[in-house]
Structure 1
Amino acid sequence: MTPPSFPAGLSALAERYDTILCDVWGVIHNGRAAFTEACEALVNFRAAGGRVCLITNAPVPEAQVVRYFEPLGVPRTAFDACVSSGDATRRELAARRDMTIWRLGADEGWEHDRFLYDGLDLRFDDSARADLLLCIGLRDQVNDQPEDYRDELNQGTDRGLPMLCANPDRQVRIGGKLYWCAGALADIYEDLGGTVIYPGKPHAPIYELALERVAAMGAPARNVLCIGDSPATDVRGARLQGFDSLYVGTGLKQHGPDFRAEVTDLLADYGEPATYAMTGLRW
Protein backbone atom coordinates (compact mmCIF):
# COMPACT_ATOMS: atom_id res chain seq x y z
CA MET A 1 0.00 0.00 0.00
CA THR A 2 1.33 3.42 -0.95
CA PRO A 3 2.17 5.54 2.12
CA PRO A 4 0.60 9.00 2.43
CA SER A 5 2.31 12.25 1.57
CA PHE A 6 3.23 14.43 4.55
CA PRO A 7 2.56 18.10 3.72
CA ALA A 8 3.69 20.82 6.08
CA GLY A 9 0.22 22.30 6.17
CA LEU A 10 -3.15 22.57 4.49
CA SER A 11 -1.90 25.56 2.50
CA ALA A 12 0.17 23.17 0.38
CA LEU A 13 -3.03 21.39 -0.72
CA ALA A 14 -5.72 24.05 -0.65
CA GLU A 15 -5.68 24.96 -4.36
CA ARG A 16 -6.49 21.35 -5.32
CA TYR A 17 -9.86 21.29 -3.54
CA ASP A 18 -13.03 23.37 -3.55
CA THR A 19 -14.64 21.51 -0.63
CA ILE A 20 -13.47 20.04 2.67
CA LEU A 21 -15.51 17.53 4.66
CA CYS A 22 -13.88 17.77 8.08
CA ASP A 23 -14.34 15.59 11.12
CA VAL A 24 -15.01 17.40 14.40
CA TRP A 25 -14.06 15.49 17.54
CA GLY A 26 -10.30 14.82 17.49
CA VAL A 27 -9.63 17.22 14.61
CA ILE A 28 -10.92 20.68 15.58
CA HIS A 29 -11.47 19.99 19.31
CA ASN A 30 -11.00 17.24 21.89
CA GLY A 31 -14.22 17.70 23.85
CA ARG A 32 -12.51 20.07 26.26
CA ALA A 33 -11.01 22.81 24.07
CA ALA A 34 -10.58 23.77 20.43
CA PHE A 35 -7.40 23.01 18.51
CA THR A 36 -6.55 26.59 17.54
CA GLU A 37 -4.28 25.77 14.59
CA ALA A 38 -6.87 23.43 13.09
CA CYS A 39 -9.62 26.02 13.32
CA GLU A 40 -7.35 28.66 11.78
CA ALA A 41 -6.57 26.31 8.89
CA LEU A 42 -10.26 25.98 8.07
CA VAL A 43 -10.80 29.73 8.41
CA ASN A 44 -7.98 30.32 5.92
CA PHE A 45 -9.32 27.71 3.50
CA ARG A 46 -12.70 29.44 3.49
CA ALA A 47 -11.08 32.86 3.10
CA ALA A 48 -9.42 31.55 -0.07
CA GLY A 49 -12.83 30.60 -1.50
CA GLY A 50 -13.18 27.01 -0.33
CA ARG A 51 -16.21 25.53 1.41
CA VAL A 52 -16.08 23.57 4.66
CA CYS A 53 -18.76 21.17 5.82
CA LEU A 54 -18.08 19.61 9.19
CA ILE A 55 -19.04 15.94 9.19
CA THR A 56 -19.27 14.15 12.50
CA ASN A 57 -20.49 10.84 13.87
CA ALA A 58 -22.02 12.56 16.89
CA PRO A 59 -25.47 10.97 17.41
CA VAL A 60 -27.25 14.31 17.81
CA PRO A 61 -28.58 16.79 15.23
CA GLU A 62 -26.47 19.66 13.95
CA ALA A 63 -27.84 22.21 16.42
CA GLN A 64 -26.63 20.16 19.39
CA VAL A 65 -23.19 19.68 17.83
CA VAL A 66 -22.69 23.36 17.07
CA ARG A 67 -23.93 24.71 20.41
CA TYR A 68 -20.77 23.43 22.10
CA PHE A 69 -18.41 25.19 19.69
CA GLU A 70 -18.39 28.66 21.23
CA PRO A 71 -17.63 27.43 24.78
CA LEU A 72 -14.82 25.26 23.38
CA GLY A 73 -13.39 28.11 21.30
CA VAL A 74 -14.32 26.87 17.81
CA PRO A 75 -15.05 29.99 15.70
CA ARG A 76 -18.13 30.13 13.49
CA THR A 77 -15.90 31.36 10.66
CA ALA A 78 -14.23 27.92 10.49
CA PHE A 79 -17.11 26.25 8.64
CA ASP A 80 -20.06 26.80 6.31
CA ALA A 81 -22.22 23.89 7.44
CA CYS A 82 -22.26 20.91 9.78
CA VAL A 83 -23.80 17.48 9.20
CA SER A 84 -23.95 14.77 11.86
CA SER A 85 -24.71 11.09 12.09
CA GLY A 86 -27.63 12.30 14.19
CA ASP A 87 -28.99 14.21 11.19
CA ALA A 88 -28.62 11.15 8.96
CA THR A 89 -30.21 8.97 11.67
CA ARG A 90 -33.22 11.29 11.94
CA ARG A 91 -33.71 10.89 8.18
CA GLU A 92 -33.65 7.09 8.58
CA LEU A 93 -36.09 7.25 11.50
CA ALA A 94 -38.47 9.52 9.59
CA ALA A 95 -38.65 6.85 6.88
CA ARG A 96 -39.60 4.26 9.52
CA ARG A 97 -42.47 5.98 11.32
CA ASP A 98 -44.57 2.84 10.98
CA MET A 99 -42.13 0.84 13.13
CA THR A 100 -42.08 0.42 16.91
CA ILE A 101 -38.66 1.30 18.27
CA TRP A 102 -36.63 -0.06 21.17
CA ARG A 103 -34.23 2.62 22.42
CA LEU A 104 -30.79 1.81 23.77
CA GLY A 105 -28.96 5.01 24.53
CA ALA A 106 -27.27 7.57 26.66
CA ASP A 107 -30.44 9.36 27.86
CA GLU A 108 -29.27 12.68 29.29
CA GLY A 109 -25.55 12.01 28.86
CA TRP A 110 -23.53 14.09 26.43
CA GLU A 111 -25.21 12.32 23.50
CA HIS A 112 -28.74 13.43 24.55
CA ASP A 113 -30.72 10.74 22.78
CA ARG A 114 -34.06 12.59 22.81
CA PHE A 115 -32.81 15.04 20.18
CA LEU A 116 -32.71 12.18 17.69
CA TYR A 117 -36.45 11.69 17.70
CA ASP A 118 -38.04 14.91 19.00
CA GLY A 119 -40.85 15.87 16.66
CA LEU A 120 -40.85 12.65 14.60
CA ASP A 121 -43.93 11.16 16.32
CA LEU A 122 -42.37 7.71 16.76
CA ARG A 123 -43.63 4.78 18.84
CA PHE A 124 -41.35 3.27 21.49
CA ASP A 125 -41.58 0.00 23.40
CA ASP A 126 -39.33 -2.68 24.87
CA SER A 127 -37.43 -5.35 22.96
CA ALA A 128 -40.30 -7.86 23.06
CA ARG A 129 -42.64 -5.62 21.02
CA ALA A 130 -40.26 -3.56 18.90
CA ASP A 131 -39.54 -3.75 15.16
CA LEU A 132 -36.27 -1.81 15.28
CA LEU A 133 -33.46 -1.25 17.79
CA LEU A 134 -32.19 2.33 17.90
CA CYS A 135 -28.70 2.22 19.42
CA ILE A 136 -27.38 5.60 20.56
CA GLY A 137 -24.69 4.55 23.01
CA LEU A 138 -24.01 2.98 26.37
CA ARG A 139 -26.34 4.02 29.18
CA ASP A 140 -23.39 4.82 31.45
CA GLN A 141 -20.64 6.07 29.17
CA VAL A 142 -18.16 6.43 32.02
CA ASN A 143 -18.44 3.08 33.78
CA ASP A 144 -20.03 0.56 31.39
CA GLN A 145 -18.20 -1.74 28.97
CA PRO A 146 -19.68 -2.90 25.64
CA GLU A 147 -19.56 -6.57 26.68
CA ASP A 148 -21.91 -5.72 29.56
CA TYR A 149 -24.66 -5.45 26.92
CA ARG A 150 -24.16 -8.75 25.07
CA ASP A 151 -27.07 -10.60 26.73
CA GLU A 152 -29.38 -7.62 26.29
CA LEU A 153 -28.44 -7.23 22.64
CA ASN A 154 -29.10 -10.92 22.13
CA GLN A 155 -32.78 -10.20 22.82
CA GLY A 156 -32.80 -8.18 19.62
CA THR A 157 -30.91 -10.64 17.46
CA ASP A 158 -33.12 -13.50 18.70
CA ARG A 159 -36.14 -11.62 17.32
CA GLY A 160 -34.38 -10.58 14.11
CA LEU A 161 -34.58 -6.85 14.86
CA PRO A 162 -32.38 -4.64 12.69
CA MET A 163 -30.25 -2.17 14.64
CA LEU A 164 -30.04 1.48 13.57
CA CYS A 165 -26.66 2.62 14.92
CA ALA A 166 -26.71 6.38 15.52
CA ASN A 167 -22.93 6.61 15.96
CA PRO A 168 -20.65 4.15 14.10
CA ASP A 169 -17.63 5.30 16.14
CA ARG A 170 -16.36 2.67 18.55
CA GLN A 171 -14.62 5.17 20.84
CA VAL A 172 -14.20 8.90 21.31
CA ARG A 173 -11.43 10.77 23.12
CA ILE A 174 -12.59 13.41 25.60
CA GLY A 175 -9.60 15.27 26.88
CA GLY A 176 -7.07 12.54 27.54
CA LYS A 177 -9.47 9.61 28.01
CA LEU A 178 -11.24 7.24 25.61
CA TYR A 179 -14.94 6.44 26.01
CA TRP A 180 -17.01 3.76 24.28
CA CYS A 181 -19.61 4.70 21.65
CA ALA A 182 -22.53 2.98 19.91
CA GLY A 183 -20.30 1.47 17.23
CA ALA A 184 -18.81 -0.86 19.84
CA LEU A 185 -22.31 -2.19 20.61
CA ALA A 186 -22.99 -2.55 16.88
CA ASP A 187 -19.88 -4.76 16.60
CA ILE A 188 -21.33 -7.08 19.23
CA TYR A 189 -24.72 -7.06 17.50
CA GLU A 190 -23.15 -8.15 14.22
CA ASP A 191 -21.08 -10.75 16.07
CA LEU A 192 -24.37 -12.15 17.40
CA GLY A 193 -25.70 -12.37 13.84
CA GLY A 194 -27.73 -9.16 13.81
CA THR A 195 -28.15 -6.67 10.96
CA VAL A 196 -26.93 -3.09 11.51
CA ILE A 197 -27.91 0.03 9.56
CA TYR A 198 -25.20 2.71 9.69
CA PRO A 199 -26.18 6.27 8.65
CA GLY A 200 -22.80 7.74 9.73
CA LYS A 201 -19.20 7.50 8.53
CA PRO A 202 -17.79 5.55 6.76
CA HIS A 203 -21.14 4.80 5.12
CA ALA A 204 -22.80 6.70 2.29
CA PRO A 205 -25.86 8.40 3.91
CA ILE A 206 -23.93 11.04 5.87
CA TYR A 207 -21.77 11.91 2.85
CA GLU A 208 -24.84 12.22 0.64
CA LEU A 209 -26.37 14.58 3.19
CA ALA A 210 -23.16 16.63 3.43
CA LEU A 211 -22.90 16.98 -0.34
CA GLU A 212 -26.55 18.10 -0.46
CA ARG A 213 -25.69 20.85 2.03
CA VAL A 214 -22.65 21.89 -0.01
CA ALA A 215 -24.65 21.98 -3.25
CA ALA A 216 -27.25 24.17 -1.54
CA MET A 217 -24.53 26.80 -1.10
CA GLY A 218 -24.66 27.44 -4.85
CA ALA A 219 -22.63 24.78 -6.65
CA PRO A 220 -21.95 21.06 -6.25
CA ALA A 221 -18.65 19.90 -4.78
CA ARG A 222 -16.17 18.84 -7.47
CA ASN A 223 -12.86 18.28 -5.70
CA VAL A 224 -13.35 17.05 -2.14
CA LEU A 225 -10.84 16.48 0.66
CA CYS A 226 -11.94 14.54 3.74
CA ILE A 227 -10.08 15.27 6.99
CA GLY A 228 -10.21 13.05 10.05
CA ASP A 229 -8.41 11.19 12.82
CA SER A 230 -9.84 7.70 12.29
CA PRO A 231 -8.64 5.23 9.62
CA ALA A 232 -11.78 3.14 10.21
CA THR A 233 -14.31 5.93 9.62
CA ASP A 234 -12.74 9.07 8.11
CA VAL A 235 -10.09 7.57 5.84
CA ARG A 236 -12.23 4.57 4.89
CA GLY A 237 -15.26 6.76 4.27
CA ALA A 238 -13.26 9.01 1.94
CA ARG A 239 -12.03 5.99 -0.03
CA LEU A 240 -15.52 4.49 -0.33
CA GLN A 241 -16.85 7.81 -1.66
CA GLY A 242 -13.92 8.30 -4.05
CA PHE A 243 -12.44 11.32 -2.22
CA ASP A 244 -8.91 12.16 -1.13
CA SER A 245 -8.20 12.02 2.60
CA LEU A 246 -6.01 13.75 5.15
CA TYR A 247 -5.30 11.81 8.36
CA VAL A 248 -4.43 13.93 11.40
CA GLY A 249 -2.83 12.61 14.57
CA THR A 250 -4.66 14.62 17.21
CA GLY A 251 -7.53 12.24 17.94
CA LEU A 252 -7.96 8.59 18.84
CA LYS A 253 -4.36 7.48 18.37
CA GLN A 254 -1.63 9.01 20.50
CA HIS A 255 1.48 9.01 18.31
CA GLY A 256 5.13 8.97 19.37
CA PRO A 257 8.15 10.77 17.89
CA ASP A 258 8.29 8.86 14.57
CA PHE A 259 4.96 10.02 13.21
CA ARG A 260 5.60 9.05 9.59
CA ALA A 261 6.50 5.45 10.36
CA GLU A 262 3.71 5.06 12.91
CA VAL A 263 1.03 6.44 10.62
CA THR A 264 2.21 4.35 7.69
CA ASP A 265 1.98 1.23 9.87
CA LEU A 266 -1.38 2.29 11.33
CA LEU A 267 -2.95 2.79 7.91
CA ALA A 268 -1.51 -0.51 6.71
CA ASP A 269 -3.09 -2.24 9.72
CA TYR A 270 -6.48 -0.90 8.63
CA GLY A 271 -5.81 -1.43 4.94
CA GLU A 272 -6.70 2.20 4.24
CA PRO A 273 -4.53 4.38 1.95
CA ALA A 274 -4.77 7.99 3.17
CA THR A 275 -3.69 10.54 0.58
CA TYR A 276 -1.99 12.77 3.15
CA ALA A 277 -1.10 12.76 6.85
CA MET A 278 -0.18 15.49 9.34
CA THR A 279 0.51 15.46 13.07
CA GLY A 280 -2.35 17.93 13.40
CA LEU A 281 -4.38 20.11 11.09
CA ARG A 282 -2.62 23.41 10.46
CA TRP A 283 -2.42 25.95 7.66
Structure 2
Amino acid sequence: MTDLADHVADRDRWARGPRGPLALVNAQQVDVEQPVWPVPGRWAPAPGGLTVTADSADGVVVDDVPVDGTVLVAGDQAVVPSVVTFPDGLAGTVTDRTLRVWDPASEAIGRFAGIARFDHDAAWVTAGRYVPVRDGLEARGAVLDAAGVALPVAGHVDTTVGDVAVRLVVVRSAAFRGVPRLQLIVQDATSALPETDPSSTYSMGRFLYLDDPGEAADVVLDWNTVVLPPCAFSYLFACPVPPPENRIAAAVTAGERHPVDASGAVLH
Protein backbone atom coordinates (compact mmCIF):
# COMPACT_ATOMS: atom_id res chain seq x y z
CA MET A 1 0.00 0.00 0.00
CA THR A 2 2.96 2.36 0.49
CA ASP A 3 3.73 2.15 -3.23
CA LEU A 4 0.11 2.97 -4.05
CA ALA A 5 0.14 5.91 -1.62
CA ASP A 6 3.27 7.24 -3.36
CA HIS A 7 1.59 6.74 -6.73
CA VAL A 8 -1.48 8.72 -5.61
CA ALA A 9 0.65 11.55 -4.21
CA ASP A 10 2.75 11.67 -7.40
CA ARG A 11 -0.37 11.90 -9.54
CA ASP A 12 -1.84 14.76 -7.51
CA ARG A 13 1.47 16.65 -7.71
CA TRP A 14 1.62 16.05 -11.46
CA ALA A 15 -1.95 17.28 -12.02
CA ARG A 16 -1.42 20.57 -10.19
CA GLY A 17 2.23 21.09 -11.20
CA PRO A 18 3.54 23.99 -13.31
CA ARG A 19 3.65 21.73 -16.38
CA GLY A 20 0.73 19.56 -15.35
CA PRO A 21 -2.51 19.37 -17.35
CA LEU A 22 -4.35 21.87 -15.13
CA ALA A 23 -1.70 24.54 -15.79
CA LEU A 24 -2.21 24.48 -19.57
CA VAL A 25 -4.27 27.55 -20.50
CA ASN A 26 -3.73 27.67 -24.26
CA ALA A 27 -2.41 25.43 -27.02
CA GLN A 28 -2.45 27.46 -30.20
CA GLN A 29 -1.25 26.29 -33.59
CA VAL A 30 0.79 28.96 -35.32
CA ASP A 31 0.68 28.59 -39.11
CA VAL A 32 0.98 32.32 -39.88
CA GLU A 33 2.22 35.28 -37.86
CA GLN A 34 -0.27 35.99 -35.07
CA PRO A 35 -0.69 36.89 -31.41
CA VAL A 36 -1.18 34.10 -28.86
CA TRP A 37 -3.44 34.56 -25.84
CA PRO A 38 -2.61 35.40 -23.04
CA VAL A 39 1.08 36.19 -23.69
CA PRO A 40 2.79 39.10 -25.42
CA GLY A 41 4.60 39.11 -28.76
CA ARG A 42 3.89 38.16 -32.33
CA TRP A 43 4.45 34.49 -33.15
CA ALA A 44 5.28 32.92 -36.51
CA PRO A 45 6.26 29.48 -37.85
CA ALA A 46 9.97 28.83 -38.46
CA PRO A 47 12.21 25.83 -39.17
CA GLY A 48 12.81 24.09 -35.85
CA GLY A 49 10.06 25.88 -33.90
CA LEU A 50 8.51 29.34 -33.82
CA THR A 51 9.82 32.89 -33.82
CA VAL A 52 8.62 35.53 -31.38
CA THR A 53 8.85 39.25 -32.06
CA ALA A 54 8.61 41.44 -28.97
CA ASP A 55 9.94 44.61 -27.35
CA SER A 56 12.00 44.50 -24.19
CA ALA A 57 9.05 46.06 -22.34
CA ASP A 58 6.92 42.97 -23.13
CA GLY A 59 8.93 40.87 -20.69
CA VAL A 60 9.41 37.84 -22.96
CA VAL A 61 12.52 35.84 -22.05
CA VAL A 62 13.89 33.05 -24.26
CA ASP A 63 16.67 30.85 -22.90
CA ASP A 64 17.36 33.38 -20.12
CA VAL A 65 17.79 36.28 -22.60
CA PRO A 66 15.18 39.09 -22.72
CA VAL A 67 13.69 39.46 -26.21
CA ASP A 68 14.03 42.77 -28.02
CA GLY A 69 13.40 41.99 -31.68
CA THR A 70 12.81 38.59 -33.30
CA VAL A 71 14.13 35.38 -31.73
CA LEU A 72 13.82 31.66 -32.57
CA VAL A 73 12.04 29.54 -29.97
CA ALA A 74 13.31 25.98 -30.54
CA GLY A 75 10.67 23.27 -30.34
CA ASP A 76 10.77 20.15 -28.20
CA GLN A 77 12.26 18.11 -31.06
CA ALA A 78 15.43 20.23 -30.93
CA VAL A 79 18.58 18.94 -29.26
CA VAL A 80 18.10 21.73 -26.71
CA PRO A 81 14.47 22.96 -26.66
CA SER A 82 13.98 26.60 -25.72
CA VAL A 83 12.72 27.74 -22.33
CA VAL A 84 10.29 30.66 -22.61
CA THR A 85 8.97 32.77 -19.74
CA PHE A 86 6.53 35.67 -19.60
CA PRO A 87 5.37 38.15 -16.96
CA ASP A 88 3.11 36.93 -14.12
CA GLY A 89 4.81 33.54 -13.93
CA LEU A 90 3.52 32.21 -17.26
CA ALA A 91 5.74 29.94 -19.37
CA GLY A 92 5.69 28.57 -22.90
CA THR A 93 6.74 25.42 -24.74
CA VAL A 94 6.72 24.70 -28.47
CA THR A 95 5.64 21.41 -30.02
CA ASP A 96 5.80 21.39 -33.82
CA ARG A 97 3.98 24.64 -34.65
CA THR A 98 1.95 24.81 -31.46
CA LEU A 99 2.71 27.20 -28.60
CA ARG A 100 1.55 25.86 -25.26
CA VAL A 101 1.11 28.40 -22.49
CA TRP A 102 1.32 27.25 -18.87
CA ASP A 103 0.01 29.17 -15.85
CA PRO A 104 0.96 27.74 -12.43
CA ALA A 105 -1.79 29.90 -10.90
CA SER A 106 -4.52 28.84 -13.35
CA GLU A 107 -8.18 28.82 -12.40
CA ALA A 108 -8.29 25.04 -12.88
CA ILE A 109 -5.45 24.50 -10.39
CA GLY A 110 -7.29 26.71 -7.91
CA ARG A 111 -10.44 24.58 -8.23
CA PHE A 112 -8.71 21.20 -8.16
CA ALA A 113 -9.12 19.18 -4.96
CA GLY A 114 -7.87 15.79 -6.08
CA ILE A 115 -8.48 12.78 -8.29
CA ALA A 116 -11.49 10.65 -7.34
CA ARG A 117 -10.58 6.98 -7.42
CA PHE A 118 -11.91 3.58 -6.47
CA ASP A 119 -10.77 2.03 -3.19
CA HIS A 120 -7.77 -0.26 -3.50
CA ASP A 121 -8.83 -3.83 -4.22
CA ALA A 122 -6.29 -6.66 -4.28
CA ALA A 123 -8.60 -8.57 -6.64
CA TRP A 124 -7.66 -6.05 -9.34
CA VAL A 125 -4.00 -7.11 -9.28
CA THR A 126 -4.01 -9.70 -12.06
CA ALA A 127 -1.62 -11.70 -14.19
CA GLY A 128 -1.02 -11.50 -17.93
CA ARG A 129 1.37 -12.60 -20.65
CA TYR A 130 3.18 -9.99 -22.73
CA VAL A 131 4.13 -10.97 -26.28
CA PRO A 132 6.10 -8.37 -28.28
CA VAL A 133 5.80 -7.83 -32.02
CA ARG A 134 8.93 -8.39 -34.08
CA ASP A 135 8.27 -6.46 -37.29
CA GLY A 136 8.18 -2.83 -36.19
CA LEU A 137 4.43 -2.67 -36.75
CA GLU A 138 2.99 0.78 -36.12
CA ALA A 139 -0.22 1.43 -34.28
CA ARG A 140 -3.35 1.97 -36.32
CA GLY A 141 -4.27 5.62 -36.70
CA ALA A 142 -6.79 5.45 -33.84
CA VAL A 143 -4.08 4.72 -31.25
CA LEU A 144 -2.81 8.22 -30.56
CA ASP A 145 -0.91 9.92 -27.78
CA ALA A 146 -2.09 13.13 -26.12
CA ALA A 147 -0.61 15.17 -28.98
CA GLY A 148 -2.48 13.16 -31.60
CA VAL A 149 0.64 11.28 -32.76
CA ALA A 150 0.34 7.59 -33.73
CA LEU A 151 2.14 5.33 -31.27
CA PRO A 152 4.13 2.24 -32.30
CA VAL A 153 2.59 -1.06 -31.25
CA ALA A 154 4.88 -2.95 -28.88
CA GLY A 155 2.86 -6.15 -28.75
CA HIS A 156 -0.11 -7.46 -26.82
CA VAL A 157 -1.03 -8.74 -23.39
CA ASP A 158 -3.17 -11.82 -22.92
CA THR A 159 -5.09 -11.61 -19.66
CA THR A 160 -8.51 -12.01 -18.07
CA VAL A 161 -10.76 -9.10 -17.13
CA GLY A 162 -14.04 -9.82 -15.39
CA ASP A 163 -13.68 -13.54 -16.12
CA VAL A 164 -13.39 -12.82 -19.86
CA ALA A 165 -10.18 -13.62 -21.71
CA VAL A 166 -8.89 -10.63 -23.68
CA ARG A 167 -5.90 -9.81 -25.89
CA LEU A 168 -5.01 -6.14 -25.35
CA VAL A 169 -2.92 -4.01 -27.71
CA VAL A 170 0.14 -2.51 -26.01
CA VAL A 171 1.98 0.60 -27.23
CA ARG A 172 5.36 1.96 -26.25
CA SER A 173 5.53 4.82 -23.80
CA ALA A 174 8.25 7.18 -22.65
CA ALA A 175 10.60 5.82 -20.02
CA PHE A 176 9.62 6.60 -16.44
CA ARG A 177 12.46 7.30 -13.99
CA GLY A 178 14.82 5.60 -16.41
CA VAL A 179 12.72 2.44 -16.79
CA PRO A 180 11.25 1.57 -20.24
CA ARG A 181 7.46 1.34 -20.10
CA LEU A 182 4.52 -0.06 -22.01
CA GLN A 183 1.07 1.50 -22.11
CA LEU A 184 -2.46 0.13 -22.39
CA ILE A 185 -5.08 2.65 -23.58
CA VAL A 186 -8.38 1.13 -22.45
CA GLN A 187 -12.07 1.74 -22.11
CA ASP A 188 -14.35 -0.44 -20.01
CA ALA A 189 -17.98 -0.61 -18.93
CA THR A 190 -17.51 2.19 -16.38
CA SER A 191 -16.44 4.62 -19.13
CA ALA A 192 -19.98 4.90 -20.50
CA LEU A 193 -21.70 5.72 -17.20
CA PRO A 194 -22.82 9.24 -16.18
CA GLU A 195 -20.18 11.26 -14.34
CA THR A 196 -22.48 11.53 -11.30
CA ASP A 197 -22.51 7.74 -10.91
CA PRO A 198 -20.06 6.60 -8.16
CA SER A 199 -18.90 3.79 -10.46
CA SER A 200 -18.22 5.98 -13.49
CA THR A 201 -14.87 6.85 -15.03
CA TYR A 202 -13.75 9.32 -17.69
CA SER A 203 -15.68 8.52 -20.87
CA MET A 204 -12.73 8.48 -23.30
CA GLY A 205 -10.83 5.85 -21.33
CA ARG A 206 -7.79 5.47 -19.09
CA PHE A 207 -4.15 4.34 -19.16
CA LEU A 208 -2.39 1.41 -17.51
CA TYR A 209 1.41 1.42 -17.56
CA LEU A 210 3.67 -1.63 -17.30
CA ASP A 211 7.43 -1.96 -17.06
CA ASP A 212 8.73 -3.23 -20.41
CA PRO A 213 10.33 -6.68 -19.91
CA GLY A 214 11.95 -6.40 -23.35
CA GLU A 215 10.84 -9.90 -24.34
CA ALA A 216 7.91 -12.26 -23.99
CA ALA A 217 7.21 -12.56 -20.28
CA ASP A 218 4.57 -12.91 -17.59
CA VAL A 219 3.50 -9.48 -16.31
CA VAL A 220 1.47 -8.12 -13.41
CA LEU A 221 -1.41 -5.78 -14.21
CA ASP A 222 -2.23 -3.65 -11.18
CA TRP A 223 -5.49 -2.03 -12.25
CA ASN A 224 -5.46 0.00 -9.02
CA THR A 225 -2.85 2.16 -10.78
CA VAL A 226 -4.99 2.91 -13.87
CA VAL A 227 -4.71 6.66 -14.54
CA LEU A 228 -6.64 9.34 -16.38
CA PRO A 229 -5.25 10.78 -19.64
CA PRO A 230 -4.32 14.47 -19.75
CA CYS A 231 -7.52 15.19 -21.72
CA ALA A 232 -9.55 14.28 -18.61
CA PHE A 233 -8.19 17.47 -17.05
CA SER A 234 -8.29 19.89 -20.00
CA TYR A 235 -10.00 20.19 -23.39
CA LEU A 236 -6.68 21.54 -24.71
CA PHE A 237 -5.30 17.98 -24.91
CA ALA A 238 -6.26 15.54 -27.67
CA CYS A 239 -7.88 12.39 -26.31
CA PRO A 240 -6.29 9.10 -27.35
CA VAL A 241 -8.78 6.62 -28.78
CA PRO A 242 -8.50 3.05 -27.46
CA PRO A 243 -8.22 0.44 -30.24
CA PRO A 244 -11.20 -1.91 -30.55
CA GLU A 245 -9.30 -4.73 -28.81
CA ASN A 246 -8.92 -2.54 -25.71
CA ARG A 247 -12.63 -1.75 -25.29
CA ILE A 248 -13.36 -4.07 -22.41
CA ALA A 249 -16.93 -5.26 -21.77
CA ALA A 250 -16.34 -5.73 -18.02
CA ALA A 251 -16.46 -2.89 -15.49
CA VAL A 252 -12.94 -2.17 -14.20
CA THR A 253 -13.81 -0.70 -10.80
CA ALA A 254 -10.23 0.23 -9.95
CA GLY A 255 -7.90 3.18 -10.32
CA GLU A 256 -8.66 6.82 -11.12
CA ARG A 257 -12.17 8.03 -11.98
CA HIS A 258 -12.33 11.84 -12.45
CA PRO A 259 -10.56 15.04 -11.36
CA VAL A 260 -12.84 16.77 -8.85
CA ASP A 261 -13.20 20.05 -6.95
CA ALA A 262 -13.73 20.49 -3.21
CA SER A 263 -17.45 19.68 -3.52
CA GLY A 264 -16.71 16.43 -5.36
CA ALA A 265 -17.98 17.81 -8.67
CA VAL A 266 -16.14 16.67 -11.79
CA LEU A 267 -13.84 19.44 -13.04
CA HIS A 268 -14.22 18.67 -16.73
TM-score interval (norm. to shorter): under 0.3
Question: More strand by proportion, 1 or 2?
Answer: 2
Question: More helix by proportion, 1 or 2?
Answer: 1
Larger radius of gyration: 2
TM-score (norm 2): 0.24
TM-score (norm 1): 0.23
